[in-house]
Chain A
Amino acid sequence: ELKVEQNPLFLSMQEGKNYTIYCNYSTTSDRLYWYRQDPGKSLESLFVLLSNGAVKQEGRLMASLDTKARLSTLHITAAVHDLSATYFCAPMGGTGNQFYFGTGTSLTVIP
């Protein structure tokens, strides 16, 4: 079974700072998704990464995928309070092509 490890699990950062969330996964997967979840809410799709070397950017967030290293990163640039949420990476795999979610990274941006 595909295992997903995110770090850090908890991240508190000041507004304006940069930081990177790391997502390691245990077995081959040809696509990876990043989701955001606000407390008590559902999952909001951020990025779909479909190939090795894929890089996508939206606003202050940039995601990348290295399938050979089984690593994805989510980089936050000049954080703002509105980015406070839990972020999940989810490589896809298995017989049903399901998502395998990590435990998530809880991000708090402090003014």
Chain B
Amino acid sequence: DAGVTQSPTHLIKTRGQQVTLRCSPISGHKSVSWYQQVLGQGPQFIFQYYEKEERGRGNFPDRFSARQFPNYSSELNVNALLLGDSALYLCASSLGAWGAQRAEAFFGQGTRLTVV
């Protein structure tokens, strides 16, 4: 079975540009979350989607947005990129809602975004 897949794996953008990152969850998983990991730090929560609805949002500016499609894949969009947005962006998928017992999350390999 394929795990969580993210694309692209690496990306270089210029300040002020916009970027779209993509995530395909494990087959059958309905919940997708996005995390930002700045070098040397732990991941920070950005968004969670379950059954195509936003279920949680972290402390990120409105330049960050996301959506989940009927096939449960997801996109993360970041507008007006800043140098500080350079990070590893991780997508996590889970079988059910996060509140469910034994909900285990599996992370993709991440997208390394560099803003210059």
Which A residues contact B (CB, under 8 angstroms)?
1, 4, 33, 35, 41-45, 48, 50, 88, 90, 92, 94-104
CB distance from B86 to the nearest CB of A (A): 15
Pairwise interchain contact B98-A96, C-beta atoms closer than 8 A: yes
Q: A43-B43, A94-B56, A104-B42 are in contact. Are A99 and B105 (CB under 8 A)?
A: yes
Q: Which 3 residue pairs across A and B have the least CB separation, nearest first?
A: A96-B56, A101-B42, A97-B98
A100 CA to B45 CA, complexed, in Å: 7
**Residue from the list A41, A88, A98 in contact with B42, Cβ < 8 A:** A88
Q: Which residues of B contact A104 (CB under 8 A)?
A: 41-42
Q: A42-B107, A45-B106 are in contact. Are A98 and B101 (CB under 8 A)?
A: no
Pairwise interchain contact A99-B43, C-beta atoms closer than 8 A: yes
Pairwise interchain contact B35-A99, C-beta atoms closer than 8 A: yes
Q: Which residues of B contact A50 (CB under 8 A)?
A: 101-102
B27 within 8 A of A: no
CB distance from B64 to the nearest CB of A (A): 14
Q: Which residues of B contact A43 (CB under 8 A)?
A: 43, 90, 107
A41 CA to B109 CA, complexed, in Å: 6
Q: Which residues of A contact B33 (CB under 8 A)?
A: 96, 98-99
Q: Which residues of B contact A35 (CB under 8 A)?
A: 107
Q: A42-B109, A43-B90 are in contact. Are A96 and B104 (CB under 8 A)?
A: no
Pairwise interchain contact A33-B108, C-beta atoms closer than 8 A: no
Q: Which residues of B contact A88 (CB under 8 A)?
A: 42-43
Closest chain A residue to B43, Cβ basis: A101
A103 CA to B84 CA, complexed, in Å: 18
A35 CA to B42 CA, complexed, in Å: 11
B99 within 8 A of A: yes
**Residue from the list A45, A90, A98, A102 in contact with B56, Cβ < 8 A:** A98
Pairwise interchain contact B109-A97, C-beta atoms closer than 8 A: no
Q: Which residues of B contact A44 (CB under 8 A)?
A: 107
B15 within 8 A of A: no
**Residue from the list A42, A95, A99, A101 in contact with B108, Cβ < 8 A:** A42
Interface readout for B30-43 with A: 1 if CB under 8 Å, 0 if not? 00010100001111
